[in-house]
Structure 1
């Protein structure tokens, strides 16, 4: 009995030394929407995911069309699935959108609940007007059965042209605002969200797994706030 009591006491001390979970760390298990990029291994947390943004391919300035990054058609039944296309150009050849639409249709035919297309493009704040024109043209050609989502930079809220942002209304269904660079949260994000008060478009906030985040005051009460998306990472040692 003495040995048992000693073991129990040691266990209590060990657990006490671990301390409570860090409330400012982005722990993926607290969320239910995720980005899954090519090269990032699936994690157990995806089993409980409600929404997945899956990087499926790229459209590059030096290519002629859609470049798929996945050899087969994903099968994620029970999840709301967005296909993400990463691009470094706004000059898409006609066959690029055709290839994307075929990919969306193939994913839907495989039993996935398709939400639509997300465009991941680092539009500079000064280039928002041209980006808005590109998105209007894309929306006109994308079948209406698919929604249109885009990633966005926090700087848009601080220095973006209000007319260019307003022009996105009725064109995109949501903006997912990225709060990180690489594996780290961008310092001073609180000030950006202070300037985002009253943001006119439906938006989500993109967090990076294991980054630092404390929800800014008033964010959850914003009329167009739609929740969070966590960018999943492989462990650092990988």
Structure 2
């Protein structure tokens, strides 16, 4: 067939699709080049907005010992504010039983916090720690790896060994950890908790070379509380000494700080009977304990004496014994954060707090209190009260602490006074908790014209409600109600 076209025209008209696409791309590039020439420059790409820096200056994560309840929305927001992204979840403990070493499941590792990378924590009993030696690796490591493997989830990225090895044995501990790393899947993050005494050991650099990170714990559950309140459980001098040692070694580490309340029992002469008792001041006061003194500062210390023998849960307390409670405060924790910022450590990866608050008997600082410490915006304790009408002359008295610090003062307790001149106030049930007590005040004519409430201990965010207060007048008219809250020499009107 004759087309009337020469060979060159025919070749162009029937070019392959790939050739036509190439021609189009070249034309597009020419057009873009012309546009750039007219505009003068290539438009700059919009930079990505970096996440805000953690308010404390470093990320803050938590150890989760597995007795916490589901976090509320406000608690989750406070946790996210801290800038951390990981959780250290207890999963089990290895302890001796007769001639064997057994794995005991602990915590709840299968329930990590959504969106957080998880390190599973394996505790080693102190009886095993005391005999730490490379010779026990073949016996110990399979138990550790098998327990960790059974409990790992899709969120698990590492393992942390919690083992209080004597300082003289940390060189041997390093060899055991080297064998453990070889037994773990490649890429598993390996870390260990650290006693502060290890900072004096020449073998500490060897240990730190063996793992990805160490976490010196600036607390000790077995350290007796100083009854004078002069020796803090966590001090800035300890922090500076250990941080300088860690920085000199130049390997990654985190700082472990306590946020829970410790309790120790002493006899009447002041001799330690037993440390680390899982009891709260509220339990002991409700059982008849008498407050001898309270000390407020970077730590709150409360000294309580038992006037008679009593049993609280599984703990038998003898007459004359003294219980000492101590807890870090948001103000104290904020100062430790400031100490760490001042030291400006290059190799510190952040802070880990013990522990995530939950349903334990032992009190821990709330996530809201930790957030206040991290932002260095700690509000002092502030007791407020309001009277809520319920109808038919019935009311509810609602008392709360709207500060970030716990209110603690048994020498000058907070007072809520409600007066109803010419009327009568009747409470069907009044609190008598040891830390909080109330009484009706009777006038000369026999009428109960006032209610007096005294508060020695009220936790930050805690709410106390006295329900069903009947305020009545003889003729049924609306009563006059005067109310005041007295705290620390200041008075505030009762809210309504």
What's the TM-score, normalizing by structure 2?
Answer: 0.36
Q: Report 1:82-161 matches (<5 A).
A: 82-88=119-125, 89=128, 90=132, 91=136, 92-93=139-140, 95-104=142-151, 106-108=152-154, 112=155, 114-157=156-199, 159-161=200-202
CA gap of 1:74–1:193, structure 2 versus 1, over 3 A, is same
The answer to whether structure 1 residue 34 and structure 2 residue 62 are counterparts is yes
Gaps of 5+ in 2: 1-55, 224-231, 260-326, 365-496
Separation in structure 2 between the aligned mates of residue 135 and residue 39 of structure 1, nearest angstrom: 29
Q: Report 1:1-238 matches (<5 A).
A: 32-41=60-69, 43-44=71-72, 45=75, 48=80, 50-62=85-97, 63-70=100-107, 73-88=110-125, 89=128, 90=132, 91=136, 92-93=139-140, 95-104=142-151, 106-108=152-154, 112=155, 114-157=156-199, 159-161=200-202, 164-182=203-221, 185-187=233-235, 188-189=237-238, 190-209=240-259, 211=328, 212=332, 213=336, 214-216=338-340, 218-220=342-344, 222-232=345-355, 233=357, 234=360, 236=362
CA gap of 1:149–1:94, structure 2 versus 1, over 3 A, is closer
CA gap of 1:71–1:196, structure 2 versus 1, over 3 A, is closer
1 or 2, which has the higher strand percentage? Answer: 2
Separation in structure 2 between the aligned mates of residue 71 and residue 50 of structure 1, nearest angstrom: 19
Moved more, 125-134 or 63-72: 63-72
Moved more, 48-57 or 172-181: 48-57
CA gap of 1:124–1:94, structure 2 versus 1, over 3 A, is closer
1:109-139 Cα distance to aligned partner (Å, 9 max, x none): xxx2x22000001122211111111111111
Separation in structure 2 between the aligned mates of residue 43 and residue 77 of structure 1, nearest angstrom: 11
What's the TM-score, normalizing by structure 1?
Answer: 0.71
CA gap of 1:180–1:94, structure 2 versus 1, over 3 A, is closer
CA gap of 1:77–1:173, structure 2 versus 1, over 3 A, is same
Gaps of 5+ in 1: 1-27
Superposed CA RMSD in Å reads 3.0
Question: What is the number of residues matched between the two proteins?
Answer: 201
1:152-184 Cα distance to aligned partner (Å, 9 max, x none): 122222x111xx222234421101111112397
Separation in structure 1 between the aligned mates of residue 150 and residue 62 of structure 2, nearest angstrom: 20
Separation in structure 2 between the aligned mates of residue 43 and residue 82 of structure 1, nearest angstrom: 19
1 or 2, which has the higher helix percentage? Answer: 1
Separation in structure 1 between the aligned mates of residue 114 and residue 177 of structure 2, nearest angstrom: 29
Separation in structure 2 between the aligned mates of residue 71 and residue 235 of structure 1, nearest angstrom: 18
Shift of 1:192: 3.3
Separation in structure 2 between the aligned mates of residue 169 and residue 196 of structure 1, nearest angstrom: 9
Separation in structure 2 between the aligned mates of residue 139 and residue 87 of structure 1, nearest angstrom: 16
Query: Whose Rg is larger?
Result: 2
Does the 8 A contact of 1:198 with 1:223 survive in 2? no
